Structure 1
Amino acid sequence: MINRVTHQSVQRSTLANLQLNLSTMADLQAKMSSGKKINVPSDDPAGASDMLRLRGEQRVQNQYKRNADDGNAWLTTIDSALQTTSTTMRRVRDLVVQSGSGAMNTPAREAIAVEIEGLRDELLQQANTTYLGRTVFAGTSDAGVAFTVDSTTTPPTYSFTGAGSATVERRVADATTIRVDADGAKIYGDGAQSVFALLDTIAATLRTPGGDATAQLNTLDSRFETVLTELSAVGARQTRVINAQTNLAESAQTTKTQLSAIEDIDLAEIILQLGMQEVAYQGALGAAAKVLQPSLMDYLR
């Protein structure tokens, strides 16, 4: 049995093929202009699902990177403050040892006492170091300073206003958090046990005739050791943060490569396909021109 083919069926088939060719060419042009294989989820549902998952991973990695960068800045600020503190305390120790010389007269001892009081003020300033308005030695406290001084008393009274037990932490991985602050009360002491009160005691001893400030050297050395210990701890935590930054950079590059493999086009391949499709479309147009234009004269011939 032979199926009957009419002009109308030929026209419909030709127009459908033309539309299919044009649609394919439009799709290739859209991919080439956007540079992406997947412009809408229907282009590749499975690929779109993977792409959304990878973009979610990128957002998480970016947040961890911001956390690590912020944590590194905190620890760098603390390290700088503690380095300055250690230098200041070393100078104080040198002055105390110098004052132990029995040949020093009263004006010389007074000059040393005045310099030590100046160094005390520098230590207080270092203990109140801030980063972006946050005190790095006061935990989560919002008091604005880690230490306050009441100058109305004799000697002055120093108080720690931070929250030493409420630490500041930054999450740099799914299961990794790193402390980025430091306990000011542990480093500088509190109240009468603070390094500031210690320096006031040393200055007062120097102003006392026959006073021996070198008796405070052991206490001063103990405070100095505490600063050095905290410096080591901060360095270890900063190393962890730097390692986390390195790992995050590598993970971000891997995720970017995976995402590119799913959604980015092969430009050379797309250009080749588009050229072939254009040739096919032009050929289809030529064939359709002969099929869609029969007239009565064509039948009479």
Structure 2
Amino acid sequence: MTHLTVQRSTLGNLQTNLRSMADLQTKMSSGKNVNAPSDDPAAASDMLRLRSDQRTASQFGRNATDAEAWLTTVDSALTTSLAALRRARDLTVQGGDAALGAQSREALAAEIDGVKAQLLSQANTTYLGRTVFAGTSNAGYAFDQTTYTFTGTVAGTTPPVERTVGDAVTVRVDADGAAVFGEGTTSVFALLDDIAAQLRAGGDPTGSLDELDAHKDALLTQVASVGARHNQVLTAQSTLADRQLALTTQLSAIEDVDLASIILDLQAQEVAYKGALGATAKVLQPTLLDYLR
């Protein structure tokens, strides 16, 4: 073995030690095991998959948050409407008293009109500029203020507003206004107009109680439906939070360094590098005269 061969071998080992030490320093300074795909192609592939899953879960989470806001708005409107309709029923029962004078009947009729206006306001509730009882309609309102025409009907149905909150999990976040309040002449608004007119005419409005109860039952059905969907969204949010935590843990296990282990490895590599420097110095030390001697 010639002196040149030993020299080249020693310099090669020195470069190898220096490269290893540089890699360890990069990992320690970045805190990551994989700084480039070439560091660990299999780990890099897993990291890309996990990050993709994280982005998907984050989008589902945003959808679920939006769905919760929609359903909370719908639930609030339905609860307020139910209370108003119960008040209208009480007023209708009072109006059945034959001993009431014209002034008392007018007062009851005026309050009925106020209840109707409140119900119309709730029926036209919006969230972020979108009506929550008119499906995908962009009319800006669900019910006309005078004719009570429903704007959400498309080809005989009300297209639902939906949010995807998980893999193959879609939740409706609005409510069908026609199913809740009726529409046109069969709406609860038209019914309250009739009750107010009967009161002003001196008639007995209690004949409309069955229809009021039917509308109340429709409201109760929708409240139950919205509650079930709201619960589904809350469950999805909890599941997504657990999923995000699991993905973060898995990603950390792959890419985050064990700092204590890296420090020990780096110290060992520094010792090896210093040894390589010493060996290289000895190899390069002989002069031409030493070689000829």
Corresponding residue to 2:166 among 160, 165, 173: 173
Distance 1:244 1:274 in 2: 45
Determine the C-alpha separation between the residues in 2 that align with 1:274 and 1:175. 48
- Name the residue aligned to 2:194: 201
Once the two structures are superposed, what CA deviation does each residue of 1:57-110 show, in whole Å capped at 9, x if it has no partner? 111111111111111111111001000001111111111112222332111111
2:183 is the counterpart of 1:190: yes
Where does residue 22 of structure 2 map in the other structure? Answer: 26
Aligned to 2:287: 295
- Cα distance in 2 between the residues matched to 1:131 and 1:199: 26
Find runs of 4+ consecutive structure 1 residues off by over 3 angstroms.
296-301
State whether structure 2 residue 234 is matched by structure 1 residue 238: no
* Aligned partner letter, 1:192: T
Deviation at 1:297, TM superposition (A): 6.2
Q: Does 1:58 align with 2:54?
A: yes
Distance apart, 1:34 and its partner CA: 1.1
CA drift of 1:222 comes to: 0.8
CA distance in structure 2 between the partners assigned to 1:120 and 1:217 by the alignment: 15
CA RMSD of aligned residues (A): 1.5
Which residue in the other structure is 2:77 paired with?
81
Structure 1 match to 2:114? 118
Within-5 A mapping of 1:98-117? 98-117=94-113
Q: Distance in 2 between matches of 1:158 and 1:53?
A: 52
Distance 2:145 2:91 in 1: 24
Identity %: 62
- Mark the CA change 1:6 to 1:55 in structure 2 (over 3 Å): closer, same or farther: same
Counterpart of 2:193 in structure 1: which amino acid? D
Classify the secondary structure of the residue corresponding to 1:160: coil
Tell me the residue number matched to 1:281: 273
The alpha carbon displacement at 1:162 in A equals: 1.0
SS at match of 2:136: coil
Q: Report the Cα distance in structure 2 between the residues aligned to 1:259 and 1:193, rounded to whole angstroms.
A: 58
Q: Does the residue aligned with 1:149 lie in a helix, a strand or coil?
A: coil
- CA contact under 8 A between 2:134 and 2:158: conserved in structure 1? no
Stretches of structure 2 that go unaligned for 5 or more consecutive residues are none
Secondary structure at 1:148 match in 2 = coil
**Which amino acid in structure 1 is aligned with residue 145 of structure 2?**
V
Letter in 2 for 1:90: R
| Partner SS state of residue 294, structure 1 | coil
Letter in 2 for 1:102: A
Q: Does 1:161 align with 2:157?
A: no
Q: Within the alignment, does 1:223 sit opposite 2:215 as a pair?
A: yes
Map of 2:141 onto structure 1: 145
Partner Cα distance (1:299, 1:275) in 2: 36
Mapped to 1, the partners of 2:78 and 2:206 lie a distance apart of 24
Amino acid at match of 2:148: Y
**TM-score when normalising by structure 2:** 0.95
**How many residues end up aligned between the 2 structures?**
290
Q: State the SS of the aligned residue for 1:178.
A: strand
Question: Higher mean Cα deviation, 180-189 or 6-15?
Answer: 6-15
Q: Which of 11, 14, 23 matches 1:15?
A: 11
| TM-score between both structures, scaled by the size of structure 1 | 0.92
* Alpha-carbon distance in structure 2 between the residues aligned to 1:121 and 1:38: 64
Question: What is the CA–CA distance in structure 2 between the aligned matches of 1:282 and 1:298, rounded to whole Å?
Answer: 25
